[in-house]
Amino acid sequence: MFKINRLNNIAHVGLDLLTDNYEMVEGLNTADAALVRSANLHEIELPNSLKAIARAGAGVNNIPLDKCAEKGIVVFNTPGANANGVKEIVIASLILASRDLLGGINWVTSVKEEPEVAKLVEKNKAKFVGTEIKGKKLGVIGLGAIGVMVANVAIKLEMEVYGYDPFISVGSAWKLSKYIKPSKSLEEIYRECDFITVHVPLTDTTKGMFNQDAFALMKDGVKLLNFSRDTLVNDDDIIAALDSGKVGKYVTDFPNPKVVGHQGVIAIPHLGASTNESEDNCAVMAVVQLMDYLENGNIKNSVNFPNCDMGVCTQAERIAIHHRNVPNMLSQFTAAFAKENINISDMMNRSKGQWAYTMLDIEPPSNPDIIKRIEDIDGVLRIRVIK
């Protein structure tokens, strides 16, 4: 029986996939695995029982990835599962940043008791005149699951679209409309574009990338959309850029006390992935990946360990070993089984950066001494016996 702890609400369509072999538990203390959305795990103690964390969503900056890897805890996310939800809110935000719909709606609500409201509307509507997005230049920074979708729809809306992603995957490149202009530098995006939307993960290198130096290179009145993460944007610098008119509008899905209510800010309460469809997609993908890992040792869409898939074990046991990506590990594992005359019928070894993962299907079964011997090898982080 596997114990699962849920740190955020996870859509039922995903939880319903858990069989009788799974039990939901309160708290992480005894859990084999955790399901999470945006809950912050950086300060939480990770118990030895914990083998996996599945993030039902894209961003994993709320999870200490290397600390998890050190403990042999696999962290999964659900690439692309909420991308359409974000794409749609970004398109809505391009319009919100161009037409004063929010100002107009608030104003008309304030005069709703006036008997002559229809006349007042016609008299006052000139205050809310906007611009169209057709023909304007949009810069998309980060062409992954979300960025590609946004860029392609913007082309259909007759915008001129520039894309920037020095690490673009082959899969994303295939999906990208041929009408998108590839930018070689951020400077080109900053210099050319009327709207800039950012779709990169928050990392040490992207943190604070929108600062006074970046704003100085942008067009006057540029509209910036941030549906990625709060701290990609330097708060003091965006406030100064809004006050000077350098930035015309800042649409953010990550409100904080400095920006909410400031002139030119449209703050949304982190609704990018909050659609029934995205929540369902993420929950299903997270649970399926978690179950395959717990039951078969297979890893798909992990952000700290490599992908590794040997299907279902048909031998007596599958031994799954998390270890450092250093020389001489495989020979030590195979020697431990050879010494006991145990046959390895199938094997897979994969690495990702400094971390590696090896699965071995064996016959006859192992015994506690062999497992202890492998566990004690320098560089082994965790070993699981899957029967």
Q: Which residues bind ligand NAD (CB under 6 A)?
A: 57-59, 79, 82-83, 86, 141-147, 164-169, 172, 199-202, 205-206, 227-229, 253, 270, 272-273
Distance CA 251, CA 223 (A): 8
Among residues 93 and 358, whose Cβ is nearest to ligand NAD?
A: 93
**Tokens read off for 83:** 């991308």
Residue with tokens 């040997």: 310
Tell me the pairing of strands 317-324 and 380-386: antiparallel
* Shortest separation between residue 225's beta carbon and ligand NAD, angstroms: 10
The angle subtended at Cα 352 by Cα 375 and Cα 381, nearest 5°, is 15
Among residues 35 and 308, whose Cβ is nearest to ligand 3PG?
A: 35
Among residues 14 and 57, whose Cβ is nearest to ligand 3PG?
A: 57
**Tokens read off for 356:** 């590696």
* Shortest separation between residue 187's beta carbon and ligand NAD, angstroms: 13
Which whole-number Å values give the CA distances from 214 to 183, 218, 254, 347, in the listed order?
A: 16, 7, 20, 49
* Shortest separation between residue 272's beta carbon and ligand 3PG, angstroms: 6
* Shortest separation between residue 57's beta carbon and ligand 3PG, angstroms: 3
Contact status, residue 122 vs residue 143, Cβ threshold 8 Å: no
Among residues 72 and 147, whose Cβ is nearest to ligand NAD?
A: 147
- For ligand 3PG, the binding residue among 177, 211, 231, 274 (CB under 6 A) is 274
Contact status, residue 77 vs residue 282, Cβ threshold 8 Å: no
User: Of ligand 3PG, ligand NAD, none, which one sits near residue 38, judging by CB under 5 to 8 A according to partner kind?
Assistant: ligand 3PG
- For ligand 3PG, the binding residue among 52, 241, 273, 294 (CB under 6 A) is 273
* Shortest separation between residue 60's beta carbon and ligand 3PG, angstroms: 8
* Shortest separation between residue 106's beta carbon and ligand NAD, angstroms: 24
Tell me the pairing of strands 247-252 and 265-267: parallel
In the complex, residue closest to ligand 3PG by CB:
57
Among residues 273 and 383, whose Cβ is nearest to ligand NAD?
A: 273
**In this structure, is the dihedral angle defined by the CA atoms of residues 137, 142, 146 and 148, taken in order, positive or negative?**
positive
| Short-list 208, 199, 254, 214, CA closest to 230 | 254
Stretch that binds ligand 3PG, among 105-113, 192-200, 272-280, 368-376 (CB under 6 A): 272-280
82 binds ligand 3PG (CB under 6 A): yes
Distance CA 139, CA 142 (A): 10
**Tokens read off for 363:** 């016959």
Cis ω for the linkage preceding 364 (within 30 of 0):
yes
* Shortest separation between residue 170's beta carbon and ligand 3PG, angstroms: 23
| Short-list 326, 322, 328, CA closest to 308 | 322
Among residues 264 and 272, whose Cβ is nearest to ligand NAD?
A: 272
Among residues 201 and 379, whose Cβ is nearest to ligand 3PG?
A: 201
User: Of ligand NAD, ligand 3PG, none, which one sits near residue 240, judging by CB under 5 to 8 A according to partner kind?
Assistant: none
| Short-list 325, 322, 381, 320, CA closest to 353 | 325
Contact status, residue 307 vs residue 300, Cβ threshold 8 Å: yes
**Tokens read off for 146:** 């979300």
User: Of ligand NAD, ligand 3PG, none, which one sits near residue 37, judging by CB under 5 to 8 A according to partner kind?
Assistant: ligand 3PG
Contact status, residue 272 vs residue 89, Cβ threshold 8 Å: yes
- For ligand 3PG, the binding residue among 37, 51, 87, 373 (CB under 6 A) is 37
Among residues 82 and 206, whose Cβ is nearest to ligand 3PG?
A: 82
Among residues 189 and 342, whose Cβ is nearest to ligand NAD?
A: 189
225 in helix, strand or coil? strand
Distance CA 36, CA 375 (A): 29
Stretch 44-63 residues interacting with ligand 3PG (CB under 6 A): 57-59
| Binding site residues, ligand 3PG, CB under 6 A | 37-38, 57-59, 82, 270, 272-274
